[in-house]
Structure formats: C-alpha cells, structure tokens
Copies of this chain bind each other. A is one copy, B any other.
Amino acid sequence: MDARTSNATEIDSRPTNNLLRRLSPADFALLAPHVMLESAAANELLYNPGDDVQVVHFPCGPSLATFLVPNEDGRDVETILVGREGAVGGIVSEGFLPAYTRICVKFGGPFARIHVGKLEAAKQRSPSLRHVFARYADCMLAQIFQSTACNAIHSIEQRTAKWMLAAMERTGDESSVPLTHEQLATLLGVGRSYASRVLQSFKAEGVLDTRRGSILVRNREGLRLRACMCNEAVKLHFEEVLRGVYPTEERQAG
C-alpha cells in the first residue's frame, strides 16, 4: 500500500474515525494490518483503574467513550467525551501502564482497535505517525484542561447545553441524545432532580423536548447560546494542532 494507491476509494474504506483518516496513506499502511474493527455496547467498560493498558480504541461513527474518575463515595465522575475525532487508551502514556481512569462506552457502536505494542512499533518506524499521535495527545490534554476550568466556573445549565452539543457533534445525530435524566445528572455530577429542572427550563424556552430515555433538541442555536464556549475553544485547538500534522509536501503526495 504505497502512495500511488492512495485514492478516495481507499480512504473511504478506512474506519470512520477521523484520527485514522487523517493519517497519510503510508502511515495508515503501517497500522492497517493490526487494526481490528469490532463493536461495543453502551456501558461496556474499556478500562478500569489499575488495568494494564494494552489496546487503543478508536470510536467510529456514532460511538462515544468517556473517561470516568472514581470517587471515594463510589460514584464516578464523568470528565471528557471522546468520539470519532480521537482515541482512548495509551494515547499519552504510550501504554503498558496502569490506567488511572475508568473508560466507558457511552453510546455503543463500532470501534477500531489496535494493540499498543503494534502502534508503538509503527511509531518507531514513522516519525510522522508519532507526531500525529503526539499532537492528538496534546488536543486531548487541552480538552481535559478545559473541562477542569469548565467544572470550576460554569453553571450546570451551561454545562448541560455544552454536553448535549458535544455529544451530538460526535454522534452525528442532530436532533436527539439518548440519555435519561439520571444519566445526565451523573454525568454532570449533580442531583437528578436538579438535572430535570434544568431540562425543564430548556423545555419551557422551546430549546428541548423530553422523552422517556432521550432528549430531543428542538433549537440547536438556542442550545448553543445557553452553553459555555468550552467546546469551541477546544475545537479551535484541535484544528490548529491537527491541521499541521503532515508537512505540506507529504500531504500533497498523499
């Protein structure tokens, strides 16, 4: 699989994960033999704290994973969402270390998987591949930093709106988010009744509608107005950092 064969058809045959699609044909070719496409159900745990990190998971299509930090009182706290724009597992650590967080499939669907060892071996052969992953790691870091700040100062209302937009952007579903109020509350780290009240206030303003087990978005722009700008800040960094992944000449060649 050399640069010659890198046409649109080949690119489309890749898993629908933006990080993998961003790779040059040559870099993807290094990974391709080791990539497995599998599916995972909602609530499946990819890692628990202390697990030896051996596999990188790339959410594809509407799949969504989250990082949960366990808390002394037993309830986990949700931190960041990772969808088809990225990957989870050994991104920063380069694997073979105990996981710090729990990683949970939030919305089920296809995942591309590769063993960390294979990925690291490929990185050793291709500096540009290493750079792609280092850059993505930096983006993920930005995402977490932003979440930390967001949790410190933004209201539950803002964070609810932010979360819904982030989820929709990743799943591609423009009109609904499959969550119960309970799940939304857990995810925001607030009480269920308060989460319901926030949704109710959005509903009163015509932004949302609620169904049993899912939330329907009626006015996306309204939601955006009520959200903090954290998503946008992070997205900007993603674009800036990942745009320059390959030097121009290499990208032209692809």
Contacts and interface: CB of A to CB of B under 8 A. Distances in A.
A249 interface: no
Interface string A17-35: 0000000000000000000
A173 to B, nearest CB: 25
Copies of this chain assembled into the complex: 2
Given A137-B93, A153-B77, A145 B67 contact: yes
A152 B149 contact: no
Interface residues of A, number: 37
Contacts of A67: 145
A148 B79 contact: yes
B144 A69 contact: no
Q: Is the interface of A mostly helix, strand, loop or mixed?
A: helix
Interface string A129-160: 00100110110011011111101110000000
Interface stretch (A97-105, A164-172, A193-201, A203-211): A97-105
A241 interface: yes
A138 B229 contact: no
